[in-house]
Structure 1
Amino acid sequence: MTTTATRTPTSVRPVFEALLLPIGPAAIAVLRYVLPYDTTDDTTAMTARAMAEQGRMSAVLWLGLLAILTLVPATYVVGRFTKPGAPRLTVIAMLLLVPGYLALSWLAAADQFVWSGAQAGLDVDTVVRLSESMHPTNDVAAGVYVLGHVVGTILLGVAMWRARVVAKWAAVAVIVSQPIHFVSAVIVPNHTLDLFGWGLQAAGFAAVSWALLRLRDGA
């Protein structure tokens, strides 16, 4: 009984971590695909399209919550895995990614606000006026998120390459994932391409999951 109780946490923890890793990026990939507006739209267009698609906005909010709960711990697990082989890169990546992902919760409040306005029966113009009156911290959070998750993910992918903890394709997938997302979200809006970009990060993190499980099994 004593031996079993001692070994259980060490055997279960890698499995839990392995299952956790791709959830956040995969959730954002689907979120970006079903998002009813483009992030390049003006406030009025965003609000009108979001209020007209309450079912899709509800899915966006659920997926956003799932991502918020899983992205930071997943980043910590990957960083712990890469740090022995690429310590400086890993630390810099974590310093960018963790605040970036934490800022996502602040940004998600804007979608929650628009959804709630529609549910309360407010008209588009009223919700737009309220949205445009949001506190300046929302702009700061947006800057922290964009810089943190784009640059931080690139550096984490480079750390994966240098640490040689996964196959090179997985490191490359993580490196290119957020530049693809940035192009498809900010420069040339394309929800399918955005799904692909975040999907690459999910695939790269899934490769780390596999590496964790192989270590657990002694492979």
Structure 2
Amino acid sequence: MSDTQVALEAKQARDVRGFWRVLLAVIAPVPMLFMGLYYLISPVDGDAPFEKTLAAVAADPGRFQLMQWLQVPFFLLIAAMFAVAWVARRGAPRLATAGGLLAVGGMSAGFFLLSGVVGPEYLVVHDGLDAGLMAKFGDAMEKQPTEQIGGLLFILAVTFGLLLLGIALWRSRVAPAWMGFALAFGGFTHPFMPGHLAAGAGLIVAAIGFAGASVALLRTSNDDFDLPPLAR
């Protein structure tokens, strides 16, 4: 080996493609899995009246505290959506691009514009706040234009964004076809599921669909995943 070749190899940047590939594979099913568990252990539906939810929190505050923590991994959903779009981009480029833009864009707006994981009902029980005042606060927050826009974009991301990504995953053939169908079905049907148990089961199905990206990423070589690092 010549001195020039030794010098070039010494300047080669570290290859971390394997790290990113496995990390995305691990992340992909996590957010929907935890959110599905959130719905499954919830004693009330997501659109339950304030008074009913407040009574449920007062009866079992520990459960609602656990539900808050189960929502925390949901912030990984943007990375999970990107993982699906990335593995499907070569086999179904237009669908992956459209689904990725709608899903990631809508979810980003939803995360920024919507309220956090702590609800006013929990604060009434946990911090002894006035129930009537917090009911008015919650109602006023839901009527804010930014909340409504964020909610609309969030729903579009979960329904049509995941629908397109699921079809792209199926069309790309990088994972079993049924996993693409699971992602499309679990996301698109979520707003229409009757009750929290059905909603939770639907999100578990979506998590299985997201695992299709995990399968594809773990099967992919580093060279197929991305270009190698450049020499410094």
TM-score, with structure 2 as normaliser: 0.80
Equivalent residue for 1:41, pick from 48, 56, 61: 48
What does residue 21 of structure 1 align with? 28
Residues of 1 paired with 2:172 and 2:222: CA distance?
A: 21
Percent identity reads 26
What does residue 6 of structure 1 align with? 14
CA contact (8 A) 1:82 1:159 kept: yes
C-alpha displacement of 1:87: 1.8
Give the secondary-structure state (helix, strand or coil) at the position aligned to 1:6: coil
Structure whose residues are more often helix by fraction: 1
Residues of 2 paired with 1:67 and 1:42: CA distance?
A: 24
Higher radius of gyration, 1 or 2: 2
C-alpha displacement of 1:80: 1.1
What does residue 157 of structure 1 align with? 166
CA contact (8 A) 1:61 1:112 kept: no
Matched letter for residue 77 of structure 2: L
Distance 1:78 1:3, change over 3 A: farther
Segments of 5+ residues of structure 1 without an aligned counterpart are none
Residues of 2 paired with 1:117 and 1:40: CA distance?
A: 18
What does residue 206 of structure 1 align with? 211
CA contact (8 A) 1:51 1:124 kept: no
Matched letter for residue 100 of structure 2: M
Matched letter for residue 37 of structure 1: V
Q: Number of paired residues?
A: 213
What does residue 152 of structure 2 align with? 143
Residues of 2 paired with 1:95 and 1:62: CA distance?
A: 28
What does residue 57 of structure 1 align with? 64
Distance 1:50 1:136, change over 3 A: farther
TM-score, with structure 1 as normaliser: 0.84
Residues of 2 paired with 1:17 and 1:110: CA distance?
A: 24
Residues of 2 paired with 1:38 and 1:216: CA distance?
A: 43
Q: Supply the RMSD in Å over aligned alpha carbons.
A: 2.6
Give the secondary-structure state (helix, strand or coil) at the position aligned to 1:132: helix
Segments of 5+ residues of structure 2 without an aligned counterpart are 1-8, 224-232
Task: Answer with 29-38 or 109-118: which moved more.
Answer: 109-118
C-alpha displacement of 1:24: 0.8
What does residue 3 of structure 2 align with? none
